[in-house]
A and B are shown apart, each in its own frame.
Chain A
Amino acid sequence: EDQVTQSPEALRLQEGESSSLNCSYTVSGLRGLFWYRQDPGKGPEFLFTLYSAGEEKEKERLKATLTKKESFLHITAPKPEDSATYLCAVQAAGTYKYIFGTGTRLKVLA
């Protein structure tokens, strides 16, 4: 069964304290892995797509990496405005369906 597990469930960081969020997955043929950011009361906002193991994508203080079993979202020198829930999803080959993880709630303290 296709499955996505995110850890930790919640993370509190001081401003400037770098860290990583994990997304472990099992899927029958990975078509794509997606990272989203969700702010309270809003819909998920697309961040990155990763297609194959070894790939990396960067956007401002965020960098996403992918292996055959997991993805990491690295946050470098975070700011309070990076506080949000970060969601990971996988898409299996031959389907349009996303399987979402339950997310990591990130709080960055000033």
Chain B
Amino acid sequence: DARVTQTPRHKVTEMGQEVTMRCQPILGHNTVFWYRQTMMQGLELLAYFRNRAPLDDSGMPKDRFSAEMPDATLATLKIQPSEPRDSAVYFCASGPTPLSGSYNEQFFGPGTRLTVL
């Protein structure tokens, strides 16, 4: 049963600390997405990658957030320094390469619940 995995599932940290979240996409998927979910804003796209290359990170606060894919089995989202307003659930999703003219469903991981005190 192929699934997206994320670690850690929960993270509590103090303001100013660095936070790193990890995601293992489904094997064979080559598009990876990072989302943030809050009660007020719902699901917001932060960044997405295709074939490990960042295609769009316009949803991320550039001064403190960074996203990378060091290899095809690992995507990371880093916040440095963290702030209380970063408290949210962060989801990673992956999807297969869409064939020409078709579509790609996204499959979500369980999320990392981040609390910044």
Contacts and interface: CB of A to CB of B under 8 A. Distances in A.
Interface residues of B, number: 23
Chain B interface, DSSP helix/strand/loop, else mixed: strand
A102 B110 CA distance: 18
Nearest to B40: A102
Nearest to B44: A100
B48 A97 contact: yes
Interface of B: 4, 31, 33, 42-43, 45, 48, 50, 55-56, 91, 93, 95, 98, 103-111
Contacts of A103: 42
Chain A interface, DSSP helix/strand/loop, else mixed: strand
Contact of A43 (B42, B56, B91): B91
Interface of A: 31-32, 34, 36, 42-46, 49, 51, 87, 89, 91, 96-98, 100-103
A45 B108 contact: yes
B38 to A, nearest CB: 11
A6 B28 CA distance: 32
Nearest to A87: B43
Most chain B beta-carbon neighbours within 10 Å: one of A32, A96, A102:
A96
